[in-house]
Amino acid sequence: MRRLALLLCLLAPASTAAQDGGAQDGGARNGVERAAEAIADAAAELVGSDAGRVVLRPRVDLPEDAPHGLPAALTASARARLGDGAHVALFGGLDAEGAAAATRLGYDAMLDLDARIEGGFLRWFLTLWRGDARIGERSGRVRLDVALRRFTGFPPRLQDADVRPQTVLLPTTDVVAIAAHDLDDDGRAELVVVRADGVRVYRLEPRGRRLRARELGRAAWPAEATRAPVPRRRVIASARPDGDAVALRISELAPALRVSLVSGAVQLRVAEGPCPEGRYPMGGGCAELVHGRDFYDQLLTRGDAPTLEAQGNFFAHVYGEFADREGGRLAAEGLVTPHGRMSVRLARRGPEGDETERSVGAVGYGTALAMTDLDLDGAPELLASTASAAGEGDALVLMRALPRGALHVLWRSEPTTGPVFVAGTGDLDGDGRDELFAVEEPLERRGGARLWIVR
């Protein structure tokens, strides 16, 4: 019961789970709020201090049967920011005609907001007109999350037959941790690969109908990281997105490190946070290794959020909050214990505030585990490796964790040649939707690893 209360309290509106890279709802702010905030910033920048009377003309290209309200939601922040002199008006005509109409109506300027759906993004253009003169333009895009999808429409629910695995050659081996994060703010996640000898950053680029991993750069451990702490027997590392960088740790004796892209070059530096000394950053918080073992203790400290007590010690842990299409929210936590048991805990708060908690488990899973909601239905998908015997290949399993407390296997790979140790989630192809991915190591340490991308 205590755990239920803990998980549910994490679902409170002021939840600090924004640090969770897997949260589909963007943490504290959803996509609508983020888009409105970005538009307000752009409007304030365009109009300047001497706003005068400004009319906002939103034009949002949505399907005919889409629910109303998105234009108002997108301009709400801008109206508040511009003050009493700002109004929202809907009138037709071309851009210049609209500006002329606004002048005739007594406005000093018109901010024309044009928003449309581009793939998995809401793309917006904001243009400032004074009379028939076009003064300036700003644009931006926001990923279509559940909040935006309520206006634009949801993708079809993922069915077994719809799962599309894809493999990409990753020109590296011996990956000990991996994270996907948009390091250069171009809307596409880069792949941060952690090895025992340093960090490599890749970007997936289309080549024909397939993807190709291009190395953006690499960095060895900085001198002040005291290279020695990387142990010989088994390197245990973790990485997670943190702000505009990826935070990682390679040993409990090593300092915390951050990987970022600075002017296109990979920068790896010692930096405090996000976890205290000796603790490994991961989605659910900061974990500590069990003394003398290669798995983590069940207590995850979470900075300004309550400590999360996992169901047990674990090899891999994922945590995320997911909004569903009906307005409810689900806190999902999954882990793989040192004995290969997967345990998933699901706490849902319904639209009416009703609360339920379910748990489900299965055995025979490995150390690779990642979670995201691929189809934005509020039931997250998990990608896990199996507990293969030593020296053998492995397999990948995609499961849906249903809020009623069940794991539904959507897809299972053919046995892989090599073992799979790490998995992650992120928008690797820049289509606005997250993918789940895992790295299959080559058995003979020759060639490269295979990056499995599943969605």
Partner 1 sequence: MDRSLIGAALAILALAVSAAPARGALGPKHGGAITLPAPEPATTLDPARAETAFEATLTEALFDRLYEVREDGTVEAVLAAGPPEIEEDVARIRLRPGALHHGTRPIRARHVVRSLQRTSSAPLASWLLGAFATENGRPAIREVDEETVEIRLARRGLRVDIVLAATPLAIVVGGNVRGRPLGTGAFRGRLDGRGGVELRIFRSAPDRPPWVNRVRFTPPRPREEEVRAFELGRLDGSWWSRSLYGGQPVRPVETATATAASPVLLVPNRARALRDDDAWGGVASAIDRARLERVGLVARRSLGAGLPAPRLPRGRAPRGARLRMIVRDDRPFERRVGEALAGMLDERGIALQVDRLSPDRLDATVARGDWDLRIALVRPPLPGRGPLVGAALAAAGQTDRARRLATQLGDAEVAAEAARQLDVLVLGQERLLLHHRADLRGFGFDGMGRLTLADASFARSRPEATR
- Which residues of this protein are in contact with partner 1, per CB under 8 A? 223, 226-234, 253, 291-294, 315, 338, 340, 362-368, 385-392, 394-395, 397, 409, 419-421, 441
- Supply the Cα-derived Rg of the chain in whole angstroms: 24
User: Exposed, middle or buried: residue 76 (CB in 10 Å: 0-12, 13-18, 19+)?
Assistant: middle
Residue 175 or 261: the one with the smaller Cβ distance to partner 1 is 175
Angle between helices 70-82 and 31-47 (to 10 degrees): 40
Shortest CB 413 distance to partner 1, Å: 12
Full 3-state SS string of 128-150? EEECCEEEEEEEEEEECCHHHHH
Residue 119 or 338: the one with the smaller Cβ distance to partner 1 is 338
Shortest CB 338 distance to partner 1, Å: 7
Question: CA end-to-end span of the chain, whole Å?
Answer: 34
Shortest CB 315 distance to partner 1, Å: 7
Shortest CB 385 distance to partner 1, Å: 5
- CA nearest to 4, candidates 308, 326, 262, 265: 308
| Residue 62 · residue 152 · CB < 8 Å | yes
Helices vs strands, H then E, count in the chain: 5, 29
- CA nearest to 331, candidates 281, 274, 285: 285
Residue 315 or 319: the one with the smaller Cβ distance to partner 1 is 315
Residue 46 or 175: the one with the smaller Cβ distance to partner 1 is 175
d(CA 337, CA 367): 9
| Residue 399 · residue 409 · CB < 8 Å | yes
Residue 21 or 366: the one with the smaller Cβ distance to partner 1 is 366
Shortest CB 304 distance to partner 1, Å: 28
HSE on the CB side for 263, CA within 13 Å? 0
Residue 243 or 415: the one with the smaller Cβ distance to partner 1 is 415
Shortest CB 4 distance to partner 1, Å: 25
Per DSSP, the three-state class of 19 is helix
| Residue 254 · residue 230 · CB < 8 Å | yes
User: How would DSSP label each residue in 262-274?
Assistant: ETTEEEEEE---S
Shortest CB 311 distance to partner 1, Å: 17
Shortest CB 394 distance to partner 1, Å: 5
Q: How far is CA 293 from the centre of its chain?
A: 30
Shortest CB 382 distance to partner 1, Å: 13
Shortest CB 232 distance to partner 1, Å: 5
Dihedral, CA of residue 137, residue 143, residue 147 and residue 148, to nearest 10? 50
Beta bridge partners of 280: 287
Residue 30 or 367: the one with the smaller Cβ distance to partner 1 is 367
Residue 157 or 293: the one with the smaller Cβ distance to partner 1 is 293
Residue 211 or 397: the one with the smaller Cβ distance to partner 1 is 397
Residue 226 or 301: the one with the smaller Cβ distance to partner 1 is 226
CB-based contacts of 52, cutoff 8 Å, min separation 6: 85, 107, 108, 109
Residue 30 or 416: the one with the smaller Cβ distance to partner 1 is 416
d(CA 80, CA 86): 8
Residue 74 or 316: the one with the smaller Cβ distance to partner 1 is 316
d(CA 432, CA 143): 5
| Residue 227 · residue 235 · CB < 8 Å | no
Shortest CB 407 distance to partner 1, Å: 8
CB-based contacts of 340, cutoff 8 Å, min separation 6: 363, 364, 365, 366, 387
Shortest CB 335 distance to partner 1, Å: 13
